[in-house]
Each structure stands twice: as structure tokens, then as C-alpha cells.
Amino acid sequence: MKITILTLFPNMFSGIFDESIIKRAIDKKIVEINLIDFRQYSPDKHHHVDDTPCGGGAGMVLRVDILDKAIKENKTDNSHVILMTPQGTKYSQAKAYELSKYEDIVLICGHYEGFDERIRNYVDEEISIGDYVLTGGELGAAVVTDSIVRLLDKAINEESHLDDSFSNGLLEYPQYTRPVEYDGMKVPDVLLNGNHKLINEYRLKESLRKTYLRRKDLLENREFTKEELKLLEKIKKEEN
């Protein structure tokens, strides 16, 4: 996969992409990440990329002509172009899985007061990582990149993300490791007995419990299996 990030501040990504899973994925050539400073597409000698808003107002607005040129210079016929903006569709694990299937993604980082509305005509979709406003799209682009790369084949062990929170529509079950007992708190016995049928049932039940207690909204439109319904009834009785 190739991910191209159009940004005014490419150095913001250096620490993030030079460590951990993303760095290993780059080294293994699982993903190619290109950071493009779109100031280079400015036609004037001072490399201005913005201008005052038409009609007046505070701040500066990114110019459509410069971003259009930057997009065209960095996309291919297979590229999926994404604009990072608070007005976009809220990002989710399901979207991360969807994007991980593309061969080529271009992420555009807005900045300053915003961007010329006409830029929207040159992108395939708009994404927001949450209902808040950042100084620019760089952090959002980093989040999207990280969430995609970890899903790519051989980036990490597939089992490591199959049970992630939201992967199956539920929050992840509790995890434990050694020491078995610490400060009066003990690892649940069911996880120590080697009975994988009981372990899987326990994990499903606790995943449902966490979701029921913390994110009931995730259960509203869920199509439950018979086993899940039975476990959920037990959970409700235990918690009420």
C-alpha cells in the first residue's frame, strides 16, 4: 500500500512514523508513506498557500488551485483521496478496515481557518476523527494512517487485531498476564484452566458486559446470536 500525506508540516510526522509498528511496516515494504509539503505547488516566490476569506472574516483560507495541483501531481488512477476535516464522516474501526483494502490513499491535511469550499470537488471522501477541532489535519492523518497500517497483511499478527474493540461491534474483553495475583487482585480462574470453550465464552460475556456498561449505543442495532442474547440476559441480572 502507498499512503501520501499532503501537509504544510511534514516534520510533525517524523516521530510517529519512525517508531513501532509503522516503522517496521515501512522497513518490510508493507507500506510506503510519502510526506508532501504542498507549499512547493505555490506559484509565488514566498510559497504562499492561503489567502484572506472572500466576504471578510478572521484567519486565512487554503487556496483551491494549489491543493488541486498537489492532488493531481500525487494521485494515480487507483488513488482514494481523503480530506481530513471536522465536517467529515466520523472515523471508525469499520472504516479503517475498508481503507486498508485500498492500494493507494492520499490524505489532505487542512490548516489555518480552513480551506476553499471548492476543494471538496477534488476528493473522494471526508473524514473526521472526532467532534472537536484541531489546529490542522496532521494529527488526524496520523491516526488514520496508524489505524490502517496495523491492519495490513504481515504488519502485525492477524489475531492481534481480530478481537480489538469495535472489530466485531463490541468493546474488547479484559486482558490479563503474570503475575497471576497482585495486590489482592487475581486473574480469573477460567483463564487459567486451559478449557478454551469456557475461555471463549468468558471473553464473549465480558466483552458484552463492557459494551453494555460503557457503550450501550453499540448494542442498539446489533444482530445478536442466541448465545449473545443468553449471556446479555445474565449480565443484566448480575448488574441490576
Specify if 178 maps to a domain: yes
- Report the CATH number at residue 34: 3.40.1280.10
Please state, in angstroms and rounded to a whole number, the distance separating the CA atoms of residues 115 and 133: 14
State pLDDT tens for residues 12-43. 999 999 999 999 999 999 999 999 999 999 99
Specify if 156 maps to a domain: no
Q: Are 176 and 191 in contact (CB under 8 A)?
A: yes
The verdict on 195 and 121 lying in the same domain is no
Last residue of a domain, one of 149, 175, 206: 149
The verdict on 142 and 181 lying in the same domain is no
The verdict on 83 and 106 lying in the same domain is yes
The verdict on 92 and 58 lying in the same domain is yes
Strands (E), the chain: 2-7, 32-37, 50-51, 61-62, 79-90, 104-109, 114-115, 125-128, 181-182, 185-186
Catalytic: which of 10, 86, 174, 215?
A: 86
* Catalytic-residue membership of 53: no
The verdict on 181 and 105 lying in the same domain is no
Catalytic: which of 65, 163, 164, 228?
A: 164
- Domain boundaries, position 51: 2-149
Q: What angle do CA 206, 199, 169 make, to 5 degrees?
A: 40
Last residue of a domain, one of 122, 149, 176: 149
pLDDT of residue 240: 87
- Number of domains observed in the structure of the chain: 2
Pairing type for strands 50-51 and 61-62 reads antiparallel
The pLDDT > 70 percentage for the chain reads 96
pLDDT of residue 157: 72
* Catalytic-residue membership of 98: no
Longest Cα–Cα distance of the chain, Å, equals: 70
Compare 49 and 168 and report the one with higher pLDDT. 49
* Catalytic-residue membership of 228: no
The DSSP letter of residue 137 is S
Catalytic: which of 138, 150, 206, 209?
A: 150
Positive or negative, the Cα torsion across 83, 89, 91, 96? negative
State pLDDT tens for residues 194-215. 999 999 999 999 999 999 999 9
Global pTM exceeds 0.85:
yes
* Catalytic-residue membership of 44: no
The verdict on 38 and 61 lying in the same domain is yes
pLDDT of residue 156: 83
